[in-house]
Structure 1
Amino acid sequence: MDRRTFLSSLPVAATALPMVGSPLAAQARPAASTASGSDFGNRPDIHAGDRTAGASFATRSMAYGHNGAVGAAHPLAVLAGVETLKRGGSAVDAAIAVNACLGFLEPVSCGIGGDCYAMLWDPKLGMVVGLAGSGRSPRSLSLATVRSRATAGIIPAFNSVSVSVPGAVDAWWTLHERYGRLKWADLFEPAIAVAKEGAPVPEIIAANLKRELNRAAGPNSKAEEKENALRLFAPSGETPAAGETFRNPDLARTYRLIAEGGRDAFYEGPVADTIHAYLQRIGGFLTKADLAAHRSEWTTPLFVNYRGVDVHAIGANTQGIATLQMLNILEKFDMKGAGFQTALSLHLQASAKRLAFEDRARFYADPDFAKVPTDWLLSKDYAALRAELIRPDRMPEPVFPGEAPGHGDTTYFTVADKDGMMVSWIQSNFRGLGSGLVPDGLGFMLQNRGQLFSLEEGHPNLYAPGKRPFQTIIPGFATRAGQPWMSFGVMGGDMQPQGQTQIIVNRVDYGLDAQAAGDSPRWYHEGSSQSMSEDDPGMTSKGELHVESGVPEATKAGLVERGWIVTPTVGDYGRYHCIERRGHGTERVYAAASEMRADGIALAY
């Protein structure tokens, strides 16, 4: 169907939901300015108005429904997901439709040039299932060549040496083969329609697009490498401002090829041919043979039990187990007794992060190439040893990884359907738009995930041809008593495990509902022994503990007293969506929560 038919087919209540004042959706609060540019919008001392029910700091109510729910970073993508569910699609069908729309609507965070991971509750199997859609490095690219392109031991982000095989489309195809109900081609119709006709750009996406294009196609880029990116995202010389319409007919044509030809159109057909020819022309390394060899991987997620809640994570070459390590450590402390948003509570959480991230820097890698001591890292005994390093009155300093026995942008969304399937889905280009490299006429940028390889000799994440790089993107899932509870995620580089941990602590220890748990002021600790980019040299001793303006002043002072370098920062503390399942059988109710710091919404019906 075309976009007009798609939008007109929605019920009046659904199309009206993004309006101000709706109980199911609200406009994102700008961090530093209003849409009109008035200085009156830059008032961090002014917070959301009073609520008559729920947490005082909550920005909106959750969306409730019996039949399905969708939460994502753009309202039009959410509507596409809801409409897919209403046409009889599964949660996976709806997730593919959402992701395809977001590749156009939110190109600064995702796209078919990137990778994709998913966890889902399979109601027939009665268990959480995982899929890793992570591409490998080019087989023709040697370690010596990568080192020759590096600066101070860091692989450049905006260069063909950082390009790895895009895994998203194969992940979609693999999930659809097992769980899809609607025809593959039908899932792309909403995205094709909106990419052709265009859509107004929301505030947060507009600001991020301008910033990231300046980085990806900046003065250090070669003319032949940045011309396609500039033509695509800034055809008039500037990226679209908030409220201006953006179109991408090239991406619409690429989606049509994938809709008609399946995953083979991308990895072995015309899309692969174009990617190969473009990279050969600019001196890149990824080839059609690399694309053709790619396959996604089904995986059984790892989990730890945190005070009666099983929290799941995909282990293979991701930072997912960092969330689990942090929770294992925090379980050793009386977090409820520490108090909500107190200095002690944030101190314990940030201390657990520092310890877990040192293990992340030392051990996490592609298990096909390195022996990752996962069982040991996730053991309760090891967590107890790490917890002993945390004092209540002083930040742990210095911190080291354990001795093993013998800024990043992403989109996260979640979907649930009438049969009880819940999907937690995350997809990313890595550095905002990605590598800066846009293959001729395809309408998307290739990812630069390969920047996260290590160049340190002997490191498990050392670059090698045909290897999957360490991944930051991680979906989240939690179960209770063997039943699904929450499909959730927090986007944004190494904020992801920190944000996931805060959500679980807020829900389990402090009893907040799904919306209030996300609206609660967040913290973000920056710094570890693992460098994430040229702008992040890694641990500089204590790092910095960033806190949102909503954190109480007494809490900030208490953190400083404990030795933390506290930096109140208005900025990106991750973007969150969640679907909670309440009740079972005919009494099942979905409660969907969305992020007030960004442009998206959550809907249920």
Structure 2
Amino acid sequence: MTTTSPTPPDSAHAWGASATAMEFTSRRAPALGTRGMVASSQTLATEAGMRILRRGGNAADAAVAVAAALNVCEPTSTGIGGDAFALVYDAKTKKVSAVQGGGASPAALTLALCRDRGHLGTEIVPSTDALAVMVPGAPAVWEDVIQRHGSGAITLADALEPAIELAETGPPIGPVTAELWRRQEDLLRAQGATCMLTKDGVAPRAGERMPNPELANTFRALGSKGAMDGFYAGPIADAIVDAVASRGGVLTVEDLKRHRTSFPDAIATTYRGDVTVWEIPPPNHGLAALLALNLLEATLPDASKGEEGAEGGVARQHAMIDAMRVAFADTLEHCGDPTHADAARAKLSCDKLVSKAYATARAKHAGLSPEKAAEGPEPGHPGVIGLRPSPDTVYFCVADGEGNAVSFINSNYDGFGTGIAPAGCGFTLQNRGHNFILQEGHVNCVGPNKRPYHTIIPGMATRTSDGSLYAAFGVMGGFMQPQGHLQVVSHMVDLGMDPQAALDHPRWCLGGVGSERGAASVLGATVAVEGETEGGSSRWRETTEALRGKGHPIEVITGLDRTMFGRGQIIARDERGTLWGGSDPRGDGCALGF
């Protein structure tokens, strides 16, 4: 066997310089294991989780190690200054538990204040305005996941050790991350976030090491003092408030001290009778994924038989796109913080919109047809249609040898969020308040002590027959997330794809959808479709053209911009107990098992 060494680059940055032309042409085999597995968007973060598993930690312990390591390796998407959510599968009880870590708005944030500050449309613009900073929920989630679901053998400080080492020594930055980092240099300079720039005042290039000693110290404080004393109070809390206040924000120390993780019941629906798909409840939009799956099942009873065969299936892709349009229209209308919505509307989201009866009636009401694209679906209201009342993130997953699994997602929202970095702390603050809509009376209208509509959602699937683990899965990326959930679940259940093949398959995305613009944003949403890669099947190109013929407004996306289709991870467990892992080829990461 002859091997060929790569041609040495002309300069230290030559390989990374090709990042903008990436076509994601590589294909991978699924990772296999029996004792444990980690899948994340950064190889060094995956290794951090593996280290904790090998030390005797379980899936929950390892998940926190991955979350912290990703803050170091991919701060362009995630960090301790953002929010986090998890679904945890317990193999002994066969129960799926939800961990909801979305921070609330400051007590002083009102619609009137936003108007006074010049935000006269339906959203806070720019999204980097300090008014968009909500209370970060991630550090409390990291602690709570270990305390509630950990093995007992690993402390929070133990789980943070790999990330602290990475922050001190500096991980080499992956090519996708480096390019996304470069695109936000101007924001970081404008906000004075020098901790996120090299000593030359620029973003690190691909392969360049990026130490962050300030973040290492923040993690030490969290590990030694705990979330409430080490982050939500004390020097770090003071630094957060000072940074936000200096830029016109209204977040206070009292807002931070008030924060607590919530633990609601997960919401679920069955799909094809084979699997039960679990999501985080409102204000997260896992609701959209479940409704879309129900609509697909109602409108295409046998999705494995598409017009162009199993993989390219025009009928299947068409049905999924229309199902997603309707699901978004309804979710954007009804999804908000249930602690602020009136009881009827809050209950409506979970109990009615995810029911099979609603999906059947809604498909008919929306006029879904196999012949042509849906024309701007208006939001559905159960009472009206005849039913009685009854972009940027990291997603990763971990499974252990006992059959436990954690589906975990952590995000700043837009890249570095607001780009505001508390002095001496080594992280930036999210801009999740941009997800509020500035519309009086809307369930997601901005308001004090309120959680905005939230785009980040981990997914979990169990076998309907016996409750055993089927897969932990997720696809990161703003409003792409429920769309990614719909597509990868259909790929696996309808077409029998393994986790890696399900992630490799080309994807589409309804573009322009946004909670800050409400259900009306669905009306003009284009259908962005991945361009064919070199050596790829012509079937996908033929499917794209057939979808255009059915009336879908298609826009073909190529190169690095294909990251808009999300970067997912999946770990599935078969009936023999073998773990099958997949990691998205659109990112820098990998899945590893042992």
Task: Establish whether TM, by shorter chain, passes 0.5.
Answer: yes
- Tell me, yes or no, if structure 1 residue 500 matches structure 2 residue 485: yes
Counterpart residue number, 1:351? 322
| Partner SS, residue 263 of structure 2 | strand
The change in CA–CA distance for 1:240 and 1:42 in structure 2 (over 3 A counts) is: closer
| Partner SS, residue 361 of structure 1 | helix
- More moved, 337-346 vs 454-463: 337-346
* Residues in 2 aligned to 1:163 and 1:36: alpha-carbon distance in whole angstroms: 32
Deviations 1:322-357 (A, max 9, x none): 110000001021311224323222111100111011
Which of 335, 341, 364 is matched with 2:303 structurally?
A: 335
* Residues in 1 aligned to 2:291 and 2:179: alpha-carbon distance in whole angstroms: 34
Q: Is contact 1:582-1:589 (8 Å) kept?
A: yes
- The structural deviation recorded for 1:152 is 2.7
* Residues in 1 aligned to 2:587 and 2:179: alpha-carbon distance in whole angstroms: 11
Structure 1 unmatched ranges of 5 or more: 1-19, 22-32, 49-58
- More moved, 470-479 vs 415-424: 415-424
* Identical pairs, percent: 38
| Partner SS, residue 95 of structure 1 | helix
| Partner SS, residue 165 of structure 2 | helix
| Partner SS, residue 489 of structure 1 | strand
- Tell me, yes or no, if structure 1 residue 474 matches structure 2 residue 457: yes
| Residue type at the aligned position of 2:557 | T
* Residues in 1 aligned to 2:443 and 2:29: alpha-carbon distance in whole angstroms: 45
User: What TM-score results when the alignment is normalised by the length of structure 2?
Assistant: 0.88
* Residues in 2 aligned to 1:455 and 1:598: alpha-carbon distance in whole angstroms: 34
| Residue type at the aligned position of 1:242 | A
The change in CA–CA distance for 1:164 and 1:456 in structure 2 (over 3 A counts) is: same
The change in CA–CA distance for 1:430 and 1:596 in structure 2 (over 3 A counts) is: same
Q: Is contact 2:16-2:205 (8 Å) kept?
A: no
- Tell me, yes or no, if structure 1 residue 84 matches structure 2 residue 52: yes
- The structural deviation recorded for 1:538 is 3.0
* Residues in 1 aligned to 2:78 and 2:22: alpha-carbon distance in whole angstroms: 31
The change in CA–CA distance for 1:278 and 1:417 in structure 2 (over 3 A counts) is: same
- The structural deviation recorded for 1:271 is 1.3
- The structural deviation recorded for 1:539 is 4.3
- More moved, 548-557 vs 269-278: 548-557
RMSD of equivalent CA atoms: 2.2
Aligned ranges 1:287-306 → 2 under 5 Å: 287-306=252-271
Counterpart residue number, 1:402? 380
Aligned ranges 1:6-45 → 2 under 5 Å: 35=15, 37=17, 42=21
Which of 424, 429, 433 is matched with 2:412 structurally?
A: 429
Structure 2 unmatched ranges of 5 or more: 5-12, 384-388, 534-538
Counterpart residue number, 1:324? 290
Aligned ranges 1:97-176 → 2 under 5 Å: 97-149=65-117, 150-156=119-125, 157-176=127-146
Counterpart residue number, 2:428? 445
| Residue type at the aligned position of 2:477 | G
* Residues in 1 aligned to 2:520 and 2:215: alpha-carbon distance in whole angstroms: 35
- The structural deviation recorded for 1:542 is 5.0
* Residues in 2 aligned to 1:379 and 1:282: alpha-carbon distance in whole angstroms: 45
Counterpart residue number, 2:386? none
Aligned ranges 1:337-416 → 2 under 5 Å: 337-338=305-306, 339=309, 340-370=311-341, 371-372=345-346, 373=348, 374-388=350-364, 389-405=367-383, 408-416=391-399
Aligned positions, number: 549
- The structural deviation recorded for 1:37 is 4.0
User: What TM-score results when the alignment is normalised by the length of structure 1?
Assistant: 0.87
- Tell me, yes or no, if structure 1 residue 257 matches structure 2 residue 225: no
Aligned ranges 1:248-287 → 2 under 5 Å: 248-263=212-227, 264-287=229-252
* Residues in 2 aligned to 1:208 and 1:557: alpha-carbon distance in whole angstroms: 30
- Tell me, yes or no, if structure 1 residue 510 matches structure 2 residue 495: yes
Deviations 1:281-306 (A, max 9, x none): 33321111111110001122111111
Q: Is contact 1:547-1:566 (8 Å) kept?
A: no
The change in CA–CA distance for 1:410 and 1:42 in structure 2 (over 3 A counts) is: closer
Q: Is contact 2:243-2:420 (8 Å) kept?
A: no
| Residue type at the aligned position of 2:592 | L
* Residues in 2 aligned to 1:234 and 1:159: alpha-carbon distance in whole angstroms: 24
Counterpart residue number, 1:207? 179
The change in CA–CA distance for 1:302 and 1:159 in structure 2 (over 3 A counts) is: same
| Residue type at the aligned position of 2:263 | W
- The structural deviation recorded for 1:43 is 8.3
* Residues in 1 aligned to 2:236 and 2:22: alpha-carbon distance in whole angstroms: 47
Q: Is contact 1:147-1:153 (8 Å) kept?
A: no
| Partner SS, residue 100 of structure 2 | strand
| Partner SS, residue 438 of structure 1 | coil
Q: Is contact 1:531-1:537 (8 Å) kept?
A: no
* Residues in 1 aligned to 2:52 and 2:416: alpha-carbon distance in whole angstroms: 27
* Residues in 2 aligned to 1:121 and 1:485: alpha-carbon distance in whole angstroms: 10
- More moved, 172-181 vs 98-107: 172-181
